[in-house]
Amino acid sequence: MKFFWVTSVCFLLALLFHGVPSETTSVNKEHAGTPPRGWNSYDSFCWTVSEEEFLQSAEIVSQRLKPQGYQYVVVDYLWYRRKVPGAYVESLGFDVIDEWGRMIPDPDRWPSSKGGKGFSEVANKVHSMGLKFGIHVMRGISTQAVNANTPILDTTKRGAYEESGKVWHAKDIGIKERACAWMSHGFMSVNTKLGAGRAFLRSLYEQYAEWGVDFVKHDCVFGDDLDINEISYVSEVLKQLNRPILYSLSPGTSVTPAMAKDVSGLVNMYRITGDDWDSWGDVAAHFDVTRDFSTANMIGAKGLLGKSWPDLDMLPLGWLTDPGSNEGPHRQCRLNLDEQRTQMTLWSMAKSPLMFGGHVRKIDQATFDIITNPTLLEINTYSSHNMEFPYITSMKSLDSEDQVLALQSGCQRDVPTPNTLLLGLTGCSDSKAIGWSIQTLDQDLEQICLKRSSRNSDEETIYKQEYLGKHHLLATDRKEFCLDASPTRKLTSKEFKRDSFSPCRWDTNQMWELNPNGTLANSYSGLCATVNSVKAKINSGGIRSWVATGRKGEVYVAFFNLNTKKMVISMKTSDLARVLSGRNLNWSSCKCKEVWSGKDVQITQETISLAVEIHGTALFVLNCS
Ligand SMILES: *[C@@H]1O[C@H](CO)[C@@H](O)[C@H](O)[C@H]1NC(C)=O
Ligand SMILES: *[C@@H]1O[C@H](CO)[C@@H](O)[C@H](O)[C@H]1NC(C)=O
């Protein structure tokens, strides 16, 4: 078990010790030196995009989004499937393959591919726009190629692969029992232990390089569908090619940092969640997993010929289609503006690749402003020390009725934190008793809080501050119950249980006093309170915060309100100083601006505090001398 701040300090020191890589080396020489950025056809066209639609989109990306670093345009899946009646995502037998069992673009949708040219002409046009060209590919080999039992190409001979006196075929290398789980009719793994299996994979990726592909999104090989052999071999092939091709893995349901550690060095980006669509649940589901990858130091870790990035998936904003659909864009994104800003803020603070998914031919101003916000893009590209920041506090915003009632009773409590708190009593000279403070959150509101944060080794829990009444210590689930500290009940120096709470009375054994040194003494027993353990598992609700530092010394702090009530979220600059302990900042000199509103924010009593909308975010930039 470690205290969270200790982990953070070690992390910062380690970085200082190794020195920060200079910007020029990280951008120019490495693959994916910064998180890749671009547009992908999936969220607006599903699989149905045509050459004309794709190139028109690329042209708009080049004019409107390239100046903001959106560089890759990626054709998502099934570009080889004929768009005819009966063809859909799970259909079999509609794909176009060449004599060697390799997928080639459907000539009706991609007319420039006729005559064996594949994607060469599309790639040329994309390059002439100053952009880079990407394609989506599936695992292994198609069922269609296996059924047709096509021969395997040996690219070194430009002829059929022969070994042990026989010509090898698709049926020899396809592993039927290892079909792609989510497209079981479509694709299966190939046996990379066989020379013919490796020759087949090599024939695919060498062809992509010949076409002029710059980015490959390799699907159904990671997460639940992990095929480490194929990833390793493809990575090896890409490393040997003359053409730099970024290697991206998808999808990533049930990915853990431990699993990612096996592949991150082989690739440039990898999905860490299932598909992200435009629902609040999808956005909220990214907070825990993203924190875990940041804690495991996976953001910008070593990757294929450069760096690798945990990928939170495309941004499904603007004008969209539906998953699995046979039609192009036809509806508006269902996230509201606050939720869209939350998504863009988390994706940027976590340095996820930013792949816009909406229809660029019909991009509205609000969507454009979100995905091109200069501060967010600066954070996404250049910030460092990106991590979740657990030392925040919250209460319902003053416009809620409950809040007014709580004010009148003189008691406050943390609303979202479930209560499994074990308080203890100890002598007031015990250093464990220190840490209590009065916090002024807003106008006449005062709370007594204990700052303590820790991380449990077997369970991802964060120990957060508990908010307690000014003189009463309240049961957080039953606010009419207060903590007793009567020595006659033999609770001294032992853990309190739930039954230590009794109806609130202004009795001395329920009265607590804050000493100047941060101890909280019980008026009756003279003993001081301490928190032995708080099991406050952060679930999909609640509040979150992320911090990062900028390349010019600025500090970024994002608040996220995952609740269905507007919340006032607060933090202390002294807590920020804890996680940024490598930096000596004069906090009283800080200028603080909130990015989405553009407003200056006052730091009063060393506290930054702001009401954050339901599912919304606040993003602060602190410039301190
Ligand atoms: C804190 O202050 C109280 C009252 O002055 C004193 O009794 C106690 O020993 C102090 N505790 C610590 C840990 O310094
Ligand atoms: C910190 O900043 C404040 C306000 O700008 C200034 O008055 C003070 O002298 C500074 N303190 C130090 C130690 O530089």
- Ligand with minimal distance to 518 CA: 1
Which residue's C-alpha comes closest to atom 12 of ligand 1? Answer: 429
Final residue of a structural domain among 482, 502, 525: 525
Given a contact cutoff of 8 angstroms between Cβ atoms, the answer to whether 245 and 165 are in contact is no
Distance 573 CA to ligand 1 centre (A): 25
Distance 573 CA to ligand 2 centre (A): 15
CB 96 within 8 A of CB 107: yes
Domain-terminating residue out of 525, 559, 576: 525
CA–centroid distance, residue 45 to ligand 1 (Å)? 67
Domain with 570 in it: 2-7+389-413+538-623
pLDDT in tens, 372-381: 999 999 999 9
Q: pTM value?
A: 0.74
Are residues 86 and 128 part of one domain? Answer: yes
* Atom 5, ligand 2: residue with shortest CA distance: 589
* pLDDT at position 584: 74
Residue 21 within a domain: no
Q: For residue 376, how far is its CA from the centre of ligand 2 (angstroms)?
A: 29
* Total tally of structural domains belonging to the chain: 3
Distance 519 CA to ligand 1 centre (A): 7
Q: What confidence tens digit (pLDDT) does each residue in 3-53 have?
A: 222 222 222 222 222 333 333 333 447 899 999 999 999 999 999 999 999
Examine the domain organization and report whether 403 and 446 are in the same domain: no
Q: What is the atom index within ligand 1 of the atom nearest the CA of 516?
A: 2
Over range 437-453, report the average pLDDT. Answer: 50
Q: Is 203 inside a domain boundary?
A: yes
Do residues 75 and 135 both lie within one domain? Answer: yes
Give me ligand 1 centre to Cα 520, in Å.
Answer: 9
pLDDT value for 396: 66
What's residue 518's pLDDT? 79
Q: Answer yes or no: is pLDDT of 266 > 80.
A: yes
Residue nearest atom 13 of ligand 1, based on CA coordinates: 429
- What residue owns the CA closest to ligand 1's atom 10? 429
Which of the listed residues 477, 493, 525 is the one where a domain comes to its end? Answer: 525
| Residues 47-100 pLDDT 10s | 999 999 999 999 999 999 999 999 999 999 999 999 999 999 889 999 999 999
Band of pLDDT at residue 477, cut at 50, 70 and 90: very low
User: Does residue 241 sit in the same domain as residue 262?
Assistant: yes
Residue 421 domain-assigned (yes or no): no
The answer to whether the Cα torsion of 295, 31, 216, 279 is positive or negative is positive
The yes-or-no verdict on residue 156 having pLDDT over 80 is yes
Q: What is the pLDDT, as a whole number, of residue 162? A: 97
- The percentage of the chain sitting over the pLDDT mark of 90, rounded to a whole number, equals 61
Q: What is the mean pLDDT of the segment spanning 608-621?
A: 95
Q: Which pLDDT belongs to residue 429?
A: 86
Query: Which of these ranges, 85-99, 251-265, 356-370, 517-531, has the smallest mean pLDDT?
Result: 517-531
| pLDDT grade for 440, boundaries at 50, 70 and 90 | low
Residue 350: helix, strand or coil by DSSP? coil
For the chain, the farthest-separated pair of C-alpha atoms sits apart, in whole angstroms, at 94
**Minimal-distance CA residue to ligand 2 atom 6:** 589
- Residue 251 in any domain: the answer is yes
Residue 430 DSSP SS3: coil
Q: Whose CA is nearest to atom 11 of ligand 1?
A: 429
Q: Kindly report the length of the chain.
A: 625
Q: Which of 573, 583, 586 to mutate to test the pocket of ligand 2 (most atoms within 8 A of CB)?
A: 586
Q: Is the pLDDT of residue 499 over 70?
A: no
Residues 226 and 300 reside in one and the same domain: yes
Query: Does any domain span residue 212?
Result: yes
Q: Assess if residue 533 is contained within a domain.
A: no
pLDDT over 70 for what percent of the chain? 77
- CA of 588 from ligand 2 middle (Å) equals 6
Q: Report pLDDT for 485.
A: 57
Q: Which residue has the tokens 């006052």?
A: 602
CA of 352 to the centre of ligand 1 (A): 47
Residue to mutate (ligand 2; options 573, 589, 622, 623; most atoms within 8 A of CB):
589
Dihedral-angle region of residue 333 (phi above 0 means left; psi in -120 to 50 means alpha; beta otherwise): beta
Same domain, 407 and 480: no
Closest Cα to atom 11, ligand 2: which residue?
A: 586
Ligand 2: which residues within 6 Å by Cβ?
586, 588-589
CA distance 551 to 544: 24
Which position has the higher pLDDT, 33 or 504?
Answer: 33
Same domain, 325 and 469: no
Kindly identify the ligand whose nearest atom is closest to the C-alpha of 625: 2
Q: pLDDT class for 565, splitting at 50, 70, 90? A: confident
For residue 392, the CA-to-ligand 2 centroid distance in Å is 25
409 and 492 share one domain: no
Strands 501-503 and 481-483, bridge-based pairing: antiparallel
Tell me, yes or no, whether 28 lies in a domain: no
**Pick from 361, 343, 263, 284: nearest CA to 55:** 361
Contacts 24+ apart (CB under 8 A), 536-539: 536/417, 536/418, 536/419, 536/420, 536/421, 536/461, 536/462, 536/463, 536/464, 537/418, 537/459, 537/460, 537/461, 538/288, 538/461, 538/462, 538/464, 539/418
Instruction: Over range 103-132, report the average pLDDT.
Output: 98
Query: Which ligand lies nearest the alpha carbon of 520?
Result: 1
Per-residue pLDDT tens over the stretch 409-424? 222 333 333 333 456 6
CATH of the domain at 197: 3.20.20.70
Residues lining ligand 1, judged by CB closer than 6 Å?
428-429, 431, 434, 515, 517, 519
CATH number for position 569: 2.60.40.1180
| Residue 24 forms part of a structural domain | no
Whether 214 and 360 map to the same domain: the answer is yes
**Nearest CA residue ID for atom 14, ligand 1:** 429
- Do 492 and 547 fall into the same domain? no
443, pLDDT greater than 70: no
Is the pLDDT higher at 506 or at 208?
208
At residue 507, the pLDDT reads: 65
Is there a single domain that holds both residue 173 and residue 316? yes
Taking residues 271-292, report their average pLDDT: 93
Q: Which atom of ligand 1 is least distant from the CA of 517? A: 1
Residue 231: per-residue pLDDT: 98
Are both 194 and 232 inside the same structural domain?
A: yes
Mean pLDDT, residues 524-542: 58
Asked whether the predicted pLDDT for residue 489 surpasses 70, the reply is: no
More reliable by pLDDT, 30 or 368: 368
